[in-house]
Every structure is written in C-alpha cells, then in structure tokens.
C-alpha cells in the first residue's frame, strides 16, 4: 500500500471516469471527518467584576459537571461554572486516543517530588500525575473504566462518622447517575437491576478488536482462581471479567457530554472558560465569592449562597490553602494570612499505585500499516475498530485479595495487549509511564518477535499516605505532590504477594500454549535477583512504582475538624457557605478505579446543597 501511494501516478489503470469520481467523493468525506466527529463548544458568558450568582462552582470536571447540572434543575437559582481549561479536544471523544491527552494542553501536567528512593527507574525519579484541564476533567482523559468498588468501602466512610453517606444513600446515588445501555447486560435480570437506567451517565462495554485474546486471558485467570464473572461491579473478590465502561457507540461518555451539554442549554447556567480561580473571598469566616484571573486580568465574582469547590484532589486543597484555609505553619511559610487553621488540608493523599508486569507470547500477531489505516476508516464510518476502545486498557480486569477469606479485594490487575513488533512501544511507555530509556528498551526488545500481555498490578488499599503542599503563594505555581509510595512497609509486602499471585498466569494452559514468558527489566540494582522471586519484585516495585492516576483524600470528610477538612455534608470546617465536592473528600479510597465514585459524590453532594438551601 505504501509503495503504491508513493508511486500513485505510475500504477493507475485505465478508467471511464466513474471510479476516480467516486473515490474523490470518498476522500472528501474522510477529509471532512474531523467536522463530523466534532461537537459544538460550550457557550461562554460575559461576566464582569462584582456580578453575583446564587452559586459558584469551581471546576467542570467529573464532579463539578454533575453539580452544575443538578443545581440548575432549580430554575430560580443562577449558577456560574468556572473552568480553568476549555472545551475538550476531539481526541478526548475518541477512546483509542486517550493516552495522547497526557502531557498536553488539556492536562495540568503535575508530577510528584523525587524522594530519591522510589520510582528511580522513571525519568527524574518523578511520577506523572495527569489531571484533566478541560470540561469533563479527568473523565475526559481516563481509560473510561466504570468500577463501583466494594460495599465495605462506603461502609468505612459511614463508620468514620460521615452519617450522610450510608450505604443505602451511596447505592441510590450511584443508580441515580447511571444509564445502563449495554443490551447483553440489560437482558440479564441480576445485572440489569443492579444499575440505574434513567440517569445521565452512560454505561456500556467495549466491542473489542482483540476480544478473542481477552477471553483467553480471562480463562487463564479463572484457572488460577480468579473466577470469570459477567459483571465486575456486582462481585469484587477473586474475580475477573470484561470491563464496564463510560463509552458507548465508539464515543467517550465523559461528564461534560453526559451532564453538562443538557445543563448548558438552561438559561440559569453561565459558564466561564480558561478562567483560573485564584482565591476564595472570605469575610468573617463566610465565603462571599471568588477571585478569578482570565486573559491576564483579575476580577471578583460574588455569591449570595455558596461557593462549591470541585477542582479535584490536587487543585482543591491548593485553592483552600491559597485562600487561607490550611495548616497554619505552611500558610505562614508562604506569606498567606491564616483564616482557618485546618491541619488536614492537603494531607491524607491516597493513590492507587501500580507496578508493571510484562509478559510475552506468540500472539497477538503483528499489525501493519494497511490494517491501521483501515482501522481509522472503520472508526470514521462506523465508530468501530481499535479506536472505539481505550488505547491504555484493553478490556479485561481482575480483582483479588492476598488475604484468605477476604470480603473485599486489595489487588487489581488491568490488561493491555500489544501486537508483535509495535514500533512505537518504546516511545509510548517512555511518554506515558516515564520509564527511562534503558528500561523502556528492555520492555520493547522482546516485542520485536512476541506479542505483549501487560498486566499493571494495582495496590487498592495502601497504608501509606502522601500530601499536597504549596510551592509558593502564586496560584500558577504547581503544588508539591509527595505520593510516599511504600512509605509503609506493609504496602510493599502486600504488593509482592499480589504480584506473585498474578505471575501464576504463566503456568496456565493458555500461556503455555503461546510460549508465554515473563520479561525482565534492566535495572542494575535488581539484575542480581532471580527472576520472579520475591526479592526481585521488591526491587522492581521500589524502582518502577508509578500511578494509575486515582488521587483522593486531600480534603477528607469527617466529624472532627482536627482530623478532616469538610463535614459529612461537605461543608468546610470553620467557613460558612463553602463546600468541597470531588474526589478529595473521600476519607479512604475504594476497591477499584475512582471515576464512578466521583460522579456519585457529585450526585450526593448536589442533594446536600439543595437540602441546605431550600
């Protein structure tokens, strides 16, 4: 194909004229595909200094879009939604391009502080912390995996004194948000009744181009005791199955699409784009508005009811601290006047770490340029093919525990399949996971002759806690993120035990049939250890630990202002008319990917706001 294209003039056959005319029409169609795939931008309001709104919502991400939608259902309330980014790019809507959004203008491009101990196999010893900077937030950049977590996760919140978050309320708000659209799931009565059908958030499954390989992996997982199930959200311990997703008909269903498009049509919602909230205005311990910077100019916008911060687990604590709410000693260090000494702001950072497990086999077979070209055409024409599902996560997952008779999982495995001789593999892993060149080369080299079965191992319930602190009092300075992976030795030992369970897959019938083997990372500190030994995996874990991008907990809720930032109604301790509604309010993390829970928090938080403002 490439040769023919290069020598197109010399390979033309005689024609009556019909063929080139039809081909030219087809070419015009595909040239216009970008317009066909695009959607209208959100309308932007004209807002001037001193304007007043009933509610100001800071951040149009996974939770903020939900809050803006639900508050504007009350027609008498005027709501202003302020987003630091802009409209999501076309690549956000196309599932297969999810990895291309990292480190782009649509990403805050955060990274952790190099502690000199962990993640030293990554560039600069620093872990990437991508966060969506656009409408939809990280729901527009993630792998679209819809995981509800285990009931015990939410019972833990309630038992910690958060009485507005009973398991029944949490389940109700999950269902309130959901719109199950997968026909196979709808036909199964047990699965169908588990989900909501009339909410905004579309839930479906991928129609995957590598489905036969996924099925083989699921069968292998089943063989080692990770029972294959039809739905990963109904059960959560020692199971495997195909992923449920926030994508449908080949298009990502981020919260700007599912919640904000309809809300933006309401006259009582105004939107500001590319507008950074630099401070919450507080008088006599009462939030009265926000300071905003847009196009180099600062101005103030006021509220008659509440400011709701939905800026995410990094930006929300940063904004509170910039506004004088946080640990007093840290505020003083940055020349910020303390309004409320709130010692837990920015603390309690929890994240789902990952340790890479690369295995190889005789499949999947090599793809070629022709195949990839026709995949693009297939997507444009039918919204099918490899671009219709995540390019990061292939569509299978497993959840399990290292503890016998456990009631919830502490380990998770994702699955990514890569065909033989993928020439972009080395550069891709250097870009997305920041592996240094030597390590990326040791991953890519076996791919020249073998397909890749990549199993990112995830530790679901770490004991280690990190923090987010200010770099300075400049709102544009990125905060300091200390992830503190493996700070608690129990996390390292659990990870090693979990990885040893995961590598048992190489002894299964399927992996033996494809000549499956475990890859070795080229790390001098680890090369002396026997491959797949516990000592080897301790060394690999410490050197290659990175993030699966699920930070939570930095404005955690609880009844005591000394040990939490917001109460169970998400009101900031010590300041009236100010709430936080996003992933940062989770006191402890959940047993799986966090985006579904953040959407649920948006639903429950909105209810609490409405109840308190009747």
Q: List residues forming the annotated binding site for FAD.
A: 277
Strands 79-82 vs 269-272: parallel, antiparallel or unpaired: parallel
Catalytic residue list contains 197: no
- For the beta carbon of residue 212, count every other beta carbon within 10 angstroms: 10
Angle at 208 (CA atoms; ends 202, 212), nearest 5 degrees:
140
From the list 534, 550, 551, the residue with the least C-alpha distance to 492 is: 534
Sign (positive or negative) of CA dihedral 19, 24, 25, 31: positive
What token pair was written down for 12?
């033309």
The structure tokens 């939570």 sit at: 552
Other CB atoms within 10 A of residue 386 CB: 19
Q: How far, in Å, CA of 85 to CA of 382, rounded?
A: 30
DSSP-assigned states of every residue in 66-88 = HHHHHHTTSTT--EEEE-SSBSP
- Reduced to 3 states (helix: H, G, I; strand: E, B; else coil), residue 518 is strand
Q: Is 309 helix (H, G, I), strand (E, B) or coil?
A: strand
User: Phi then psi for 519, rounded to 5 degrees?
Assistant: -80, 155
CB atoms within 10 A of CB 354: 26
Q: What is the DSSP string of 173-197?
A: HHHHHEEE--HHHHHSHHHHHHS-S
How far is C-alpha 146 from the geometric centre of its chain's CA atoms?
Answer: 10
Write out the binding residues: 277
Instruction: State how far the alpha carbon of 34 is from the alpha carbons of 26, 99, 145, 517, in Å.
Output: 14, 19, 25, 42
Determine which one of 208, 414, 450, 550 is catalytic: 550
What is d(CA 304, CA 78) in angstroms, rounded to the nearest whole number? 10
Q: How far apart are CA 366 and CA 419, in angstroms?
A: 5
Which sequence positions are flagged as catalytic? 550
């Amino acid at each position: 194909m490439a040769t023919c294209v290069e020598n197109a003039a010399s390979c033309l056959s005689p024609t009556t004229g019909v063929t080139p005319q039809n081909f030219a029409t087809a070419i015009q169609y595909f040239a216009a595909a970008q317009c066909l795939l695009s959607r209208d931008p959100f309308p932007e309001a004209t807002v001037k200094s001193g304007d007043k709104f009933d509610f100001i919502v800071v951040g149009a991400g996974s939770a903020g879009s939900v809050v803006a939608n639900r508050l504007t259902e009350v027609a008498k309330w005027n709501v202003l939604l302020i987003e630091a980014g802009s409209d999501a790019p076309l690549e956000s809507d196309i599932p297969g391009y999810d990895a291309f959004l990292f480190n782009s203008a649509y990403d805050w491009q955060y990274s952790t502080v190099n502690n000199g101990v962990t993640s030293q196999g990554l560039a600069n010893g620093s872990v990437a912390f991508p966060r969506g900077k656009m409408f939809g937030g990280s729901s527009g950049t993630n792998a679209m995996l819809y995981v509800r977590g285990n009931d015990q996760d939410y019972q833990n919140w309630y038992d910690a004194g958060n009485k507005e978050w009973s398991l029944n309320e949490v389940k109700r708000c999950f269902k309130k948000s959901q719109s199950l659209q997968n026909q196979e799931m709808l036909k199964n009565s047990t699965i169908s009744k588990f989900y909501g059908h009339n909410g905004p958030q579309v839930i479906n499954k991928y129609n995957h181009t590598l489905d036969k390989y996924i099925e083989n992996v699921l069968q292998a997982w089943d063989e080692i005791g990770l029972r294959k199930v039809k739905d990963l959200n109904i059960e959560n311990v020692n199971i495997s199955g195909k992923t449920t997703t926030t994508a449908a008909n080949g298009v990502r269903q981020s919260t700007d699409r599912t919640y904000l498009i309809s809300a933006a049509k309401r006259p009582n919602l105004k939107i500001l784009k590319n507008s950074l909230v630099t401070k919450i205005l507080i008088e006599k311990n009462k939030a009265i508005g926000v300071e905003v910077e847009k196009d180099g100019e600062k101005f103030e916008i006021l509220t008659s009811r509440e400011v709701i911060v939905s800026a995410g687990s990094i930006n929300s604590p940063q904004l509170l601290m910039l506004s004088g709410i946080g640990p007093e000693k840290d505020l003083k260090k940055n020349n910020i006047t303390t309004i409320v000494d709130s010692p837990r702001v920015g603390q309690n950072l929890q994240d789902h770490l990952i340790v890479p497990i690369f295995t190889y086999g005789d499949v999947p077979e090599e793809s070629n340029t022709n195949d990839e070209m026709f995949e693009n055409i297939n997507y444009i024409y039918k919204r099918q093919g490899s671009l219709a599902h995540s390019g990061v996560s292939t569509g299978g997952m497993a959840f399990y525990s290292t503890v016998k008779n456990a009631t919830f999982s502490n380990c998770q495995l994702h699955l990514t399949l890569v065909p033989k001789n993928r020439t972009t593999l080395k550069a891709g892993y250097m870009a997305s996971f920041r592996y240094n060149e030597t390590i990326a080369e040791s991953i890519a080299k076996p791919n020249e002759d073998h397909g890749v079965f990549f199993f990112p191992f995830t530790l679901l319930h770490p004991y280690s806690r990190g923090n987010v602190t200010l770099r300075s009092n400049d709102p544009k300075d990125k905060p300091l993120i200390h992830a503190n992976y493996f700070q608690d030795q129990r996390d390292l030992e659990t990870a090693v035990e979990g990885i040893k369970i995961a590598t048992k897959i190489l002894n299964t019938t399927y992996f033996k049939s494809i000549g499956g083997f475990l890859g070795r990372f080229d790390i001098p500190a680890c090369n002396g250890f026997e491959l797949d030994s516990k000592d080897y995996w301790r060394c690999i874990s410490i050197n290659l630990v990175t993030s699966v991008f699920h930070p939570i907990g930095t404005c955690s809720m609880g009844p005591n202002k000394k040990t939490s930032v917001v109460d169970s109604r998400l009101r900031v301790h010590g300041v009236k008319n100010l709430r936080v509604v996003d992933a940062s309010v989770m006191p402890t993390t959940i047993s799986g990917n966090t985006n579904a829970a953040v959407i649920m928090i948006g639903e429950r938080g909105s209810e609490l706001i409405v109840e308190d403002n009747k």
